[in-house]
Amino acid sequence: MPVLELGGLTLGIREGVIALIVLVAFYMGFVLLRMFYLRSKPAPVTAQSVAPTLDRQPVSPSRLADDEPELTLEESWEKPPARMAEDILRQGLEQEFAQLREEVDAMRGELAALRADMLQELAHMRATQSVSPIYGDAMQMAASGYEPAMIAERCGIARAEAELVVALAKSQAQ
């Protein structure tokens, strides 16, 4: 383990980590103090301090809504347009509505897939319930779409019996 010795003082990894933690804590305290200072300090920027020659000039009527009174340049900077909040709210609601629509479409797809799985599982259950226990495996294989030769080989039944089981599975599926 690396160790640093300075004039009889031994510094290891543990001490280095503690020093880093202390430095980060001091930095966070400094940033918080700075934020508090900036928050409490008033910094008004008005139209007079930016452009004193433009004070009390009316805003062009083409930029004003019909129901808003005519404002001076200073007042127009301080007061946002009346419909701005409504437009922002409408845009937010439209985005949320589009997102909800996409989620509903995804849920519909998942529901359709689940419905198909459920119907397939139900067909398997019906096939196994209506058949003798001897032919249960053969019926499940037939419902899954296996060929009669494969069913006969795996279940140890005659090919003719396997063909009958396949025909029975097809008639129950319809």
pLDDT in tens, 66-114: 555 566 666 666 666 667 878 888 999 999 999 999 999 999 999 999 9
Task: Map tokens 């980590």 to a residue.
Answer: 17
Q: Please, which residues bridge with residue 58 across strands? A: 72
Query: Percent of the chain having pLDDT more than 70?
Result: 71
User: What is the arithmetic mean of pLDDT over 143-164?
Assistant: 90
3 state DSSP class of 6: strand
User: What is the arithmetic mean of pLDDT over 34-60?
Assistant: 61
CA distance 8 to 167: 93
pTM (two decimals): 0.32
pLDDT for the residue 18? 92
CA angle in degrees (0–180, nearest 5) for 74-80-51? 25
What confidence tens digit (pLDDT) does each residue in 7-43 have? 777 778 888 899 999 999 999 999 999 998 888 876 5
DSSP 8-33: TEEE-HHHHHHHHHHHHHHHHHHHHH
Cβ-proximal residues to 74 (8 Å cutoff; 6+ apart), any chain? 46, 47, 48, 55, 56
Cβ-proximal residues to 124 (8 Å cutoff; 6+ apart), any chain? 140, 143, 144
Query: Percent of the chain having pLDDT more than 90?
Result: 33
Which spans in the chain are helix H? 13-40, 47-50, 73-78, 84-129, 136-144, 148-155, 159-173
Average pLDDT, the chain: 79
